[in-house]
């Protein structure tokens, strides 16, 4: 990883199947840190990540990563960004082991081992089929694949959704460590365990309703614009009820 992480979106709009999914997204993020992207189902969170990765071409606007225009070009985007999609709760019949998965994507063995260690996958699991691992370990393996590519940006779609509460805490701690050197964009419904490591929050529902440090962006007023009555204030804490 040689370049300082930087992401700029200018007036990005995306239409899918004739429907406006993202509208006039302007965003500039520079330097390492964890950025939390929040919004209800259908808000455009996954579409935003895929657009940044060049997998979707916006109907309008530009995506610039580390100074290079990567709009609609996944080959260019992959020079600077890695993508960890949302994993299914189970992966029956997935034959590869963690080491085989990373080798399959042309990652040298020594770099694969280093990446698996960095995300706390115990060595005893490196040669077991991934479908035999717990959901938390499976998620770590796919994060290790992104880590091994050494890109300045890592995009993670709902990395905590399919894991148990203990694994959520462990993965959040690990993402916090990674965010000290890289720019992590993470979509998430429940921000509680990630908030201690979060530098920036984006509230998204087709367009950006709030963007900034957690203390400024994650207010009841802002959350209500995105989640409606599902945004509740319980004591000093903001809670999103039934956000799935």
What is the three-state SS of the chain?
CCCCCEEEEEEEEEEECCEEEEEEEEEEEECCEEEEEECCCCCCHHHHHHHHCCCCCCCEEEEEECCEECCCCHHHHCCCEEEECCCCCCCCCCCCCHHHHHHHCCCCHHHHHHHHHHCCCCHHHCCCCHHHCCHHHHHHHHHHHHHHCCCCEEEEECCCCCCCHHHHHHHHHHHHHHCCCCEEEEECCCCCCCHHHEEEEEEEECEEEEEECHHHHCCHHHHHHHHHHHEEEECCEEEECCCC
Q: What is the pLDDT of residues 64-107, one digit of tens each?
A: 999 999 999 999 999 999 999 998 766 777 788 999 999 888 88
pLDDT score of 244: 44
Percent of the chain having pLDDT more than 70?
93
pLDDT score of 162: 82
Work out the average pLDDT over 56-71. Answer: 97
Considering only the C-alpha atoms of the chain, give the largest distance between any 2 of them, rounded to a whole number of Å: 50
pLDDT score of 13: 98
CATH of 6-240, one of 3.40.50.300, 3.40.50.620, 3.40.50.2020, 3.10.105.10: 3.40.50.300
pLDDT score of 237: 60
pLDDT at residue 1 greater than cutoff 60: no
pLDDT score of 189: 78
pLDDT score of 235: 47
pLDDT at residue 229 greater than cutoff 90: no
**What's the whole-model pTM score?**
0.92
CA gyration radius, the chain: 18
pLDDT score of 2: 63
Report the chain's mean pLDDT, rounded to a whole number.
Answer: 91
pLDDT score of 231: 67
pLDDT at residue 233 greater than cutoff 70: no
Burial 79-98 (b: 16+ CB within 10 A, else e): ebbbbbeebeeebeeeeebb
pLDDT at residue 211 greater than cutoff 50: yes
d(CA 238, CA 223): 9
Domain range list for the chain: 6-240
> What band does 213 get if pLDDT is binned at 50, 70 and 90?
very high
Q: What is the pLDDT of residues 154-187, one digit of tens each?
A: 999 999 988 889 999 999 999 999 999 999 999 9
Q: What is the pLDDT of residues 144-159, one digit of tens each?
A: 999 999 999 999 999 9
């Amino acid at each position: 990883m040689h370049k300082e992480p930087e992401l700029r979106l200018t007036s990005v709009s995306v239409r899918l199947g004739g429907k406006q999914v993202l509208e006039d997204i302007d965003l500039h993020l520079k330097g390492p840190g964890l950025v939390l992207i929040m919004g209800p189902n259908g808000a455009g969170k996954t579409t935003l990540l895929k657009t940044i990765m060049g997998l979707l071409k916006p109907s309008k606007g530009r995506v610039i990563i580390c100074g290079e225009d990567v709009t609609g070009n996944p080959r260019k985007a992959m020079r600077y960004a890695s993508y960890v999609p949302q994993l299914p709760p189970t992966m029956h019949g997935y034959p590869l082991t963690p080491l085989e998965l990373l080798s399959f994507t042309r990652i040298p063995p020594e770099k694969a081992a280093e990446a698996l260690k960095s995300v706390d996958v115990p060595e005893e699991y490196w040669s077991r089929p991934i479908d035999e691992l717990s959901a938390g370990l499976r998620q770590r393996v796919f994060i290790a694949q992104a880590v091994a590519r050494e890109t300045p940006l890592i995009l993670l779609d709902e990395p905590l959704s399919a894991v148990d509460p203990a694994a959520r805490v462990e993965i959040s701690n690990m993402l916090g460590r990674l965010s000290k050197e890289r720019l992590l964009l993470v979509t998430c419904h429940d921000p509680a365990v990630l908030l201690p490591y979060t530098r920036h929050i984006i509230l998204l529902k087709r367009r950006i309703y709030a963007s900034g440090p957690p203390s400024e962006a994650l207010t009841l007023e802002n959350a209500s614009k995105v989640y409606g009555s599902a945004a509740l204030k319980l004591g000093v804490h903001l809670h999103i009820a039934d956000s799935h």
